[in-house]
Chains A and B, each alone.
Chain A
């Protein structure tokens, strides 16, 4: 009986360690996977549910005000948003990753970002997408599948358009 308990406990411990190790090694959600659904509450208090945007392309950008490498792409993302805005089938959502609100709002104002942005409360969205750092951008197609994963910043506006245009009719 003692032996069974001992080996059982040891096995359970190994199982937990293995699950933890696999999770940490998994990396971001990859191209072709179903984009995890989430609800983003914007700084303005509006709710955005990803599943409601089936049929549209969604550009999901993770950023933070303390992230220096996020800054160069902020204006390009806004320019891309303005470029597609009249079409209505390209949605831009910004997720503010582990940040403080006053600094985040200052950042959005500094770079003139007008598309919806909100905090990643309890880091639930970034955990669902297994974000390893910021900036990271996920482009989700009309079927809710991940079409492109951008680790690090986009180099230019053209770089962003190049990833979105092929998904549109």
Chain B
């Protein structure tokens, strides 16, 4: 019985030792550099400067691999996402950004779609209104019952009507 307990204690001690030894190794492996996910999180905000309209995280060319390597190196050096993006813009120009900076001529990219959207909406509503009005007009004309605009009574007429009504009520 005593031997059995000793054996169990040894196994438990060895297991604890093994876990203690493995924890720093795991921590070391994780801290050895930025993960692919971290690199891709920055890469997807940038576009390949040579193959148009392909985000850097989805691009398979040698050039893109090199650029992802640059992102990995910079992240390992402690650079922030914004610093890395600024570096890429300084090297390769604004076209590497998924969203062009809101300045100068770039405003066209943001304003034109809005103008088209609003303009299109106004045109649509105006068109619908006109179509409805013309539809009503057609219906009235087809039935021959175009309702005339009511004539407005002048002040004199109103006065006369009131006098007449007064006379009749007295009579």
Taking CB atoms, residues of chain A closer than 8 Å to B91 are 98, 119, 121-122
Q: Are B49 and A123 closer than 8 Å at their CB atoms?
A: yes
Is B89's beta carbon under 8 Å from chain A? yes
Q: Are A9 and B119 closer than 8 Å at their CB atoms?
A: yes
Q: Are B92 and A100 closer than 8 Å at their CB atoms?
A: no
Q: Are A6 and B92 closer than 8 Å at their CB atoms?
A: no
Q: Are A64 and B92 closer than 8 Å at their CB atoms?
A: no
Closest 10 CB pairs of A and B: A66-B63, A122-B93, A98-B49, A66-B62, A100-B66, A123-B93, A98-B92, A100-B70, A103-B66, A98-B50
Chain A, residue nearest B126 (CB): A2
How many A-B pairs have beta carbons closer than 8 Å: the answer is 44
Q: Are B90 and A122 closer than 8 Å at their CB atoms?
A: yes
Interface residues of B in 105-128 (CB under 8 A from A): 108, 112, 115-116, 119, 122-123
Nearest CB on A from B6, distance (A): 59
Interface residues of A in 70-129 (CB under 8 A from B): 98-100, 103, 119, 121-124, 127
In the bound complex, what is the Cα–Cα distance between A64 and B92 (angstroms)? 13
Is B15's beta carbon under 8 Å from chain A? no
In the bound complex, what is the Cα–Cα distance between A123 and B61 (angstroms)? 19
Task: Name the one of B66, B69, B90 contacting A121, with C-beta atoms under 8 angstroms.
Answer: B90
Mask of B39-59 contacts with A, CB within 8 angstroms, 1/0:
000000000011000000000
Mask of B67-101 contacts with A, CB within 8 angstroms, 1/0:
10110000000000000000001111111000000
Q: Are A98 and B63 closer than 8 Å at their CB atoms?
A: yes
Q: B residues near A, CB below 8 A?
A: 49-50, 61-63, 66-67, 69-70, 89-95, 108, 112, 115-116, 119, 122-123
- The interface size bin for chain A is 10 to 19
Q: Are A122 and B92 closer than 8 Å at their CB atoms?
A: yes
Nearest CB on B from A96, distance (A): 10
Is A44's beta carbon under 8 Å from chain B? no
Chain A, residue nearest B67 (CB): A100
Q: Are A66 and B61 closer than 8 Å at their CB atoms?
A: yes
Taking CB atoms, residues of chain A closer than 8 Å to B63 are 64, 66, 98-99
Q: Are B69 and A100 closer than 8 Å at their CB atoms?
A: yes
Nearest CB on A from B115, distance (A): 6
In the bound complex, what is the Cα–Cα distance between A64 and B67 (angstroms)? 13
Of the A-B pairs whose beta carbons lie under 8 Å apart in the complex, a sample of 28, sorted by A's number, is A2-B122, A6-B123, A9-B115, A9-B119, A13-B112, A16-B108, A66-B61, A66-B63, A66-B66, A98-B49, A98-B50, A98-B63, A98-B91, A100-B67, A100-B69, A100-B70, A103-B66, A119-B91, A121-B90, A121-B91, A122-B89, A122-B90, A122-B91, A122-B93, A123-B49, A123-B95, A124-B93, A133-B50
